[in-house]
């Protein structure tokens, strides 16, 4: 039923040079304006820890921390993040170590396939930084942007609550 | 997505000029709705004009009124101490929408301009008058569970899906815009449009007009307020019905009340007659029930959403009772009391 065709834009599209500070390292890359942060991470920078679930903002698998806030990389354009500080799952803990949430996820069996896990962990780190989740009900509400297709939610919330109650989440 | 250019604007007038020059250019703020629509090829753009560099504070206060920055994020707005203290209804409504990640990205201006979530609008293979004027409406005789019961026309029964805007309607907010012809202010009730025979026009913003702020009158109804959101799952879902109630009481009598509904129409729905009826009455279930009848007067159900008429009435009663005791409310705008 759709009749209009997609018109190419009038001017030539140039790639833009963008510098992203990813996991503490400045990475400069050349991207087209329509490349999402998610695709830039996975395809240009080989950081495949960040996952593409839905690509439409509906699952949270692509969650990263940008300038201290958890965001969805699938709905962000790389060109709009020039100069930003970005933490992905690859950068949540020093090399060779695990973040307390990573340890807790293992202890609580907080995954089955593991596809949602990087997003869950980055999201929980962002939630701790926001400091708005005090009760378990609030944790559940503020983690609702991360779906788990395997249904490991109960263990995910248990793992997050353990780290939260331990007070050690940096 | 189609191929497009990107331009980082340097300020309000720069952004407006850039858009005015190019018919198919669009502003981009959080991108949470626009990038999604571009990915579905429901829209095409020549240039995206990034308005994020227009950085100011989340809000400013003058003479008791508050001006929200249009470019501030929904999260920073909802968690701002002034909003939490003086306009908790707005805070609650924002926090009932989308997810924490999306609220960290979404801007206040963009929230007012988000597109409907009608299934057929998103399916480019089906007729839709909003997407393609004159092609027909697939929803009227289709699957219309999440669509409107009030203010519909034979051309479109879409719902405007924002939560934040339901609270803004109850608070009598004003939208501040700047366009090629200068600045103007639009009262909230006149911002969004009912479909009539032009369902492709969602609101009264003109081409190249940029939303710069949202004014909140000094009255925030911080003592008696509630936002209730009913949906198919408890969180991270659009409303089937939502209700914002802002109330003022004196000696157990209602001196002022505002009731706005979301999920029922192409704009937040308020009925003056129902609010007038409640003034001077006691805040009882019976009185709220009578007001609820007035609010849904003229509602029309379709095959899969007729249940929303009864649901709306019950949600109004429940939410007005919840407004009597805000402290008892649960996170996520769920039913309590
Ligand atoms: C999975 C998902 C679930 C969601 N659930 C909810 C929900 O439950 N409740 C709810 O209320 N919302 C929900 N949302 C919608 C979300 O709140 C909106 O997408 C968001 O508010 C849009 O703001 P933005 O800054 O990202 O807009 P953008 O995507 O940047 O822009 C949206 C539109 O506004 C225009 N625009 C942006 N800023 C301005 C401005 N200042 N002046 C003029 N034009 C402008 C753009 O050109 C574009 O047309 C959900 C979104 C997603 C993806
Ligand atoms: S209800 Fe409106 S948006 Fe949905 S198919 Fe009909 S015309 Fe399109
Ligand atoms: S991939 Fe970004 S939310 Fe699903
Ligand atoms: S572990 Fe499989 S999606 Fe969560």
In a domain, A5, yes or no: no
Residue A12 has pLDDT above 60, yes or no: no
How many C-beta atoms surround the C-beta of residue B213 within 10 A?
Answer: 24
Q: Which two tokens stand for residue B223?
A: 């003592």
Residue A9 reports pLDDT greater than 60: no
User: What does residue A19 show for φ and ψ, rounded to 5 degrees?
Assistant: -110, 125
Does residue A82 sit in the same domain as residue A114? no
Whether A103 and A160 have beta carbons less than 8 Å apart is answered as: no
What is the pLDDT confidence band of residue B78, given thresholds at 50, 70 and 90?
very high
Long-range interactions of B121-126: CB distance < 8 A, separation 24+: B121/B42, B121/B158, B122/B40, B122/B42, B124/A1, B124/A2, B124/B40, B124/B41, B124/B42, B125/A1, B125/A2, B126/A1
What is the per-residue pLDDT for A169?
63
B210 vs B52: CA distance, rounded Å:
12
Tell me, yes or no, if B122 comes closer than 8 A to chain A by beta carbon.
no
Are the CB atoms for B210 and B178 separated by under 8 Å? Answer: yes
Tens of pLDDT, residue by residue over B131-161, are 999 999 999 999 999 999 999 999 999 999 9
Q: What CATH number does residue A87 fall under?
A: 3.10.20.30
Asked if B331 has any chain A CB less than 8 Å from its own CB, the reply is: yes
Rounded to a whole number, what is the distance in Å from the CA of A32 to chain B's nearest CA?
A: 8
Give the phi and the psi of residue B313 in degrees, each rounded to 5: -60, -45
- Residue A10 domain-assigned (yes or no): no
Residue from A7, A66, A69 whose CB has the most chain B CBs within 10 Å, to mutate: A69
Instruction: Note whether A46 and A107 are same-domain residues.
Output: no
Residue A78 reports pLDDT greater than 50: yes
pLDDT at A3: 41
Beta pairing partners, B215 = B67, B174
- Cα gap B33→B30, rounded to integer Å: 8
What digits encode the pLDDT tens for the residues B207-243? 999 999 999 999 999 999 999 999 999 999 999 999 9
Of A56, A91, A126, which closes a domain? A91
Print the SS3 string covering A83-112: CCEEECHHHCCCCCCCCHHHHHHHHCCCCC
Q: How many CB pairs under 8 A join A and B?
A: 125
Q: Tell me the shortest Cα–Cα distance from B52 to chain A, in angstroms.
A: 8
Q: What is the pLDDT of residue B83?
A: 98
User: What is the spatial distance between Cα B181 and Cα B166, in angstroms, rounded to a whole number?
Assistant: 29
Position of tokens 């970005």? A86
Six token digits for residue A24: 């503490």
Identify the residue whose tokens are 């995206």.
B48
Mean pLDDT of B317-333: 93
Looking at residues B4-8, what average pLDDT do you find?
A: 95
Structure tokens at B271: 């009925």
Q: For residue A58, give the chain B residue with the closest CA.
A: B236
Domain boundary among A91, A117, A134: A91
Residues of A in contact with B46 (CB under 8 A): 9-11
pLDDT (average), residues A24-35: 96
Backbone angles phi, psi at A26, to 5 degrees: -75, 125
Instruction: Tell me the per-residue pLDDT of A104-161, one tens digit each, with 9 for 90 and over.
Output: 999 999 999 999 999 999 999 999 999 999 999 999 999 999 999 999 999 999 999 9
Q: Domain for residue A162, yes or no?
A: yes
The pLDDT, as a whole number, for residue B290 is 98
3-state DSSP call for residue B78?
Answer: helix
What is the tally of structural domains in chain A?
2
Residues A22 and A84 in one domain: yes
Q: What is the mean pLDDT of chain B?
A: 96
Spatial contact of B227 and B239, defined as CB atoms under 8 Å apart: no
pLDDT at A11 over 90: no
Mean pLDDT in residue range B263-292 = 98
- Are A87 and A137 part of one and the same domain? no
If you measure CA to CA, which chain A residue comes closest to B102? A71
What's the gap in Å between B271 CA and the centre of ligand 3? 38
The pick from A39, A48, A49, A55 for probing ligand 3's pocket by mutation, whose C-beta has the most ligand atoms within 8 angstroms, reads A55
Question: What range does the domain containing A75 cover?
Answer: 16-91
Q: How far is A95 from chain B (nearest CA, A)?
A: 26
Structural domains of chain B in order of their starting residue, each with its CATH number: 5-52 (3.30.43.10), 225-329 (3.30.390.50)
Tell me if A155 is assigned to some domain.
Answer: yes
User: Which residues on B lie below 8 Å from A147 (Cβ)?
Assistant: 236
Other Cβ atoms less than 10 A from the Cβ of A24: the count is 9
Residue A3 resides in a domain? no
pLDDT of residue B328: 86
CA distance B162 to B211: 16
Domain co-membership, A79 together with A116: no
Please indicate, yes or no, if residue A132 is contained in any of the structural domains: yes
User: Residue A13 has what pLDDT?
Assistant: 67
Contacts of B229 in chain A (CB under 8 A): none
Q: How far is the CA of A148 from the centre of ligand 4 (A)?
A: 5
B25-53 average pLDDT score: 96
- Cβ contacts (< 8 Å) between B332 and chain A: which residues? 141, 144
Q: In this structure, are A26 and A70 located in the same domain?
A: yes
- Within-domain flag for A53: yes
Of B264, B292, B218, nearest in space to B65 by CA: B218
Using pLDDT thresholds of 50, 70 and 90, give the confidence band for residue A37: very high
**Which CATH number is A107's domain given?**
1.10.150.120
User: Over 90: is that where the pLDDT of B21 sits?
Assistant: no
Report DSSP state, residue A42. Answer: I
CA dihedral B132, B134, B140, B142 (to 10 degrees): -60
Tokens representing A22 are 């990813």
Contact A55 B39 (CB under 8 A): yes
- Contact B220 CB / ligand 2 (< 6 Å): no
pLDDT band at B54 (very low <50, low <70, confident <90, very high): confident
Question: Is there a contact between A77 and B24 if contact means CB atoms under 8 Å apart?
Answer: no
The nearest CA of chain B is from the CA of A151 a distance in Å of 15
| pLDDT (0 to 100) of residue A83 | 97
């Amino acid at each position: 039923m759709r009749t209009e065709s997609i018109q190419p834009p009038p001017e030539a599209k140039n790639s833009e040079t963008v510098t992203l500070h990813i996991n503490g390292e400045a990475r400069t890359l050349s991207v087209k304006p329509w490349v999402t942060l998610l695709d830039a991470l996975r395809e240009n920078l080989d950081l495949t820890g960040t996952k593409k679930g839905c690509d439409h903002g509906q699952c949270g698998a692509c969650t990263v921390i940008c300038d201290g806030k958890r965001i969805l990389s699938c709905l962000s354009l790389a060109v709009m993040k020039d100069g930003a500080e970005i933490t992905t799952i690859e950068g949540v803990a020093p090399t060779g170590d695990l973040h307390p949430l990573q340890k807790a996820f293992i202890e609580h069996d907080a995954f089955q396939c593991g596809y949602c896990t990087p997003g869950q962990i980055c999201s929980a780190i962002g939630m701790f930084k926001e400091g708005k989740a005090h009760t378990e009900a609030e944790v559940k509400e503020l983690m609702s942007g991360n779906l788990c297709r395997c249904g490991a939610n109960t263990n995910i919330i248990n793992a997050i609550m353990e780290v939260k109650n331990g007070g050690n989440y940096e | 997505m189609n191929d497009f250019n990107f331009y980082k604007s340097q300020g309000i007038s720069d952004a407006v000029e850039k858009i005015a020059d190019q018919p198919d250019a669009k502003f981009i703020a959080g991108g949470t709705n626009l990038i999604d629509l571009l990915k579905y090829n429901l829209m095409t753009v020549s240039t995206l004009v990034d308005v994020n560099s227009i950085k100011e504070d989340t809000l400013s206060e003058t003479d008791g009124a508050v001006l929200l920055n249009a470019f501030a994020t929904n999260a920073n707005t909802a968690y701002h101490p002034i909003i939490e203290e003086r306009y908790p209804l707005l805070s609650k409504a924002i926090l009932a929408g989308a997810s924490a990640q999306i609220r960290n990205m979404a801007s206040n201006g963009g929230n007012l301009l988000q597109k409907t979530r009608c299934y057929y609008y998103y399916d480019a293979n089906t007729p839709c008058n909003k997407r393609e004027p004159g092609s027909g409406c697939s929803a009227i005789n289709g699957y219309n569970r999440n669509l409107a019961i009030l203010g519909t026309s034979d051309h479109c029964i879409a719902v405007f899906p924002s939560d934040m805007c339901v609270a803004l309607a109850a608070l009598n907010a004003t939208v501040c815009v700047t366009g090629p012809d200068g600045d103007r202010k639009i009262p909230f009730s006149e911002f969004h449009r009912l479909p009539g025979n032009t369902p492709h026009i969602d609101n009264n913003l003109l081409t190249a007009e940029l939303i710069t702020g949202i004014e909140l009158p000094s009255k925030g109804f911080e003592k008696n307020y509630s936002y209730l959101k009913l949906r198919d799952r408890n969180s991270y879902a659009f409303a089937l019905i939502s209700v914002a109630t802002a109330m003022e009481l004196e000696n157990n009598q209602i001196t002022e009340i505002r009731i706005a509904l979301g999920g029922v129409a192409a704009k937040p729905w308020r009925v003056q007659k129902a609010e007038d009826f409640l003034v001077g009455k006691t805040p009882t279930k019976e009185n709220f029930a009578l007001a609820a009848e007035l609010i849904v007067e003229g509602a029309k159900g379709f095959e899969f959403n007729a249940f929303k008429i009864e649901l709306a009435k019950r949600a109004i009663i429940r939410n007005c009772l919840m407004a009597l005791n805000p402290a008892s409310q649960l996170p996520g705008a769920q039913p309590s009391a």
